Amino acid sequence: MNANADAEAATARFQIGEVADRTGVTQRTLRFYEEKGLLRPPERMDGGFRLYSENDVTRIGYIKQLQDLLGFTLSEIKDMVEAEDLLQQMSATRRPDRELPERLQRSEQILGALTKQLDVVEHKVEHLTLLREELRAKMTRVTQRRTEILNALEQEQAVSEL
Amino acid sequence: MNANADAEAATARFQIGEVADRTGVTQRTLRFYEEKGLLRPPERMDGGFRLYSENDVTRIGYIKQLQDLLGFTLSEIKDMVEAEDLLQQMSATRRPDRELPERLQRSEQILGALTKQLDVVEHKVEHLTLLREELRAKMTRVTQRRTEILNALEQEQAVSEL
DNA sequence: TAGAACCTTCACGTGGACGACAATGTTGGT
DNA sequence: ACCAACATTGTCGTCCACGTGAAGGTTCTA
C-alpha cells in the first residue's frame, strides 16, 4: 500500500556538484544531457538548484556505459532511456482510474520502442559475433605460423650445437 | 610453386570511378580513406590513375560494414585493417629467406594486434548480450501488463453486454 | 555577509567524416 | 590530333556530435 510512499519518501538527493564528482561527468555535461532529453529534469530546490535522486545517478552511469562501452550515440541513448522512463511511469503509475484503452495504447507504444531497440541490439550482437569468429580464426592461423617458426628455430639451435 | 603467380597475375583492376559505383562510396571518400591509411595505396597506371584490385573492393565493403553496422570509428577500423594487412603480407611473403627471429617478431606483433581487437570485440559482445537480456526482460514485463489490460477490457465488454 | 556552489545563456571549440570546387593532367576512341 | 570522359592534387567548406568556457547573476550555509 505504500507503493508510492517509498517513491516519494526519504530518498537522498544530491546537488549537481556531488553528482558530478560521483559519476565523473562534469556539471556542464549533466546540464547538457538534461537539455538533450537524456536525463529527466530533476527536482529543484526553492532557489532553483538541481536535486538528483539516487536513481538519476544510476541512470547517468547507464548512459556512460551505453556510450563508452557500446558506442551508442546520444540520440540512440535518448530513445533507450525514454522507453525506460515510460516503463517506470507505467509501473509506478498503477492507477486503474485511467481509461483502459489509454493504458493499452501506452503499452503498445512502449512495446514498439523496446522492439526497435532490441532489433538494433540483436543486429549488433550478430555482426559482432561474426567478427569475433573471424578474429579468432585469424588468431589461430597466426599462432600456428608462430609455432612453426619456433620449431624451425629449435632445429637451427640443435644443428648449431653439434 | 605458383604461389605468387596468381598474386600478381591477371587479376582484374578497376579505376576509382568504377569502384565508387560498385561500392557506393564516393571517389572523394576513397581517396580520403587512402589518405587516412584505411586503404593501402593502390597501384597506379602510368599516368597516375589509381587501379584497385578485387581485394581492395572487398576491403572497402568490410570497412563500410565495420562503420555502419558496428559503429566503429575510422581510426579503430584503421587499426583493424592494418592488422589484416600484416596478416596478408605474412601469408603472401612466404619467403624462408628472411631471418627467423624477424619473422617470429612479426608474428608476435600481429598476434598482439589481434588480441587487442578481440578484447574490444569480446567486451562489446558481452555488454551487448547483457543489454539484450535486459531488453527482453522488459519486453516480457510489458507484454504481461498488456495482456492484463486486454483481459480487463474483455471483462468490461462482457459486462456491458448484459 | 562573505564566499563557495549553483543558476542560465550564448557562444565557441574540436574532431570526425566527408562534400565541393578549381585547376590541371590522362585515357581511349574516332 | 582532338575531344569527352575520367582522374589528379589541393584547398576550403560543411555538418554533426559532443561537449566546453565564460560572463553575470542567484542561492546556500557558516
Residues B16 and B68 in one domain: yes
Q: What is the mean pLDDT of residues A136-159?
A: 92
Residue that is last in its domain, among B72, B87, B118: B72
Is B137 among the domain residues?
yes
Across the interface, which of A100, A107, A138 has its CB nearest the CB of B142? A107
B161: left (phi over 0), alpha (psi -120 to 50) or beta: alpha
Kindly report the CATH number assigned to the domain that includes residue B32: 1.10.1660.10
Best probe of the A interface among B88, B144, B149, by most A CBs < 10 A, is B149
Question: Do the beta carbons of residue A70 and residue A56 sit within 8 Å?
Answer: no
Q: Whole domain around residue B48: which residue ranges? A: 12-72
User: What pLDDT sits at residue B144?
Assistant: 94
Residues B117 and B57 in one domain: no
Contacts of B122 in chain A (CB under 8 A): 132
Give the confidence band of A57 by pLDDT, cuts at 50, 70, 90: very high
Q: What is the mean pLDDT of residues B23-51?
A: 96
User: What pLDDT sits at residue B2?
Assistant: 41
Residues B58 and B107 in one domain: no
pLDDT of B90 strictly over 70? yes
Is B68 among the domain residues?
yes
pLDDT of A145 strictly over 60? yes
Q: What percent of chain A has pLDDT over 70?
A: 90
Is A104 among the domain residues?
no
User: What pLDDT sits at residue A135?
Assistant: 92
Higher pLDDT, A48 or A89: A48
Is B61 among the domain residues?
yes
Residues B108 and B67 in one domain: no
CA to C1' distance (Å), from B90 to C30: 48
Residues B50 and B19 in one domain: yes
Residues B63 and B125 in one domain: no
Please tell me which residue of chain B has the smallest CA distance to A96. Answer: B149
Taking the CA atoms of A100, A105, A109 and A114 in sequence, report the sign of the dihedral they define: positive
Total domain count, chain B? 2
C-alpha cell at B82: 592494418
Residues B20 and B64 in one domain: yes
SS (H, E, C) chain B: CCCCHHHHCCCCEECHHHHHHHHCCCHHHHHHHHHCCCCCCCEECCCCCEEEEHHHHHHHHHHHHHHHHCCCCHHHHHHHHHHHHHHHHHHHCCCCCCCHHHHHHHHHHHHHHHHHHHHHHHHHHHHHHHHHHHHHHHHHHHHHHHHHHHHHHHHHHHHHCC
Give the confidence band of B99 by pLDDT, cuts at 50, 70, 90: confident
Across the interface, which of A69, A118, A146 has its CB nearest the CB of B127? A69
Is A48 among the domain residues?
yes
pLDDT of A1 strictly over 60? no
3-state secondary structure of A140: helix
Q: What is the mean pLDDT of residues A132-157?
A: 92
Higher pLDDT, B63 or A69: B63
pLDDT, tens digit (0-9, with 9 covering 90-100), for A111-143: 998 998 899 899 999 999 999 999 999 999 999
Contacts of B115 in chain A (CB under 8 A): 139
Contacts of B62 in chain A (CB under 8 A): none
As a whole number, the mean pLDDT across chain A is 88
Is B102 among the domain residues?
yes
Closest CA to A68 of B120, B113, B132, B118: B120
Residues A67 and A17 in one domain: yes
User: What pLDDT sits at residue B135?
Assistant: 93
Is B43 among the domain residues?
yes
Residues B60 and B103 in one domain: no
DSSP A160: H
User: What pLDDT sits at residue A10?
Assistant: 63
Cα–Cα distance between B149 and B157 in angstroms, integer?
A: 12
Residues A68 and A118 in one domain: no
Is B78 among the domain residues?
no
A114: number of Cβ within 10 Å:
23
pLDDT of A144 strictly over 70? yes
Across the interface, which of A71, A110, A125 has its CB nearest the CB of B71? A71
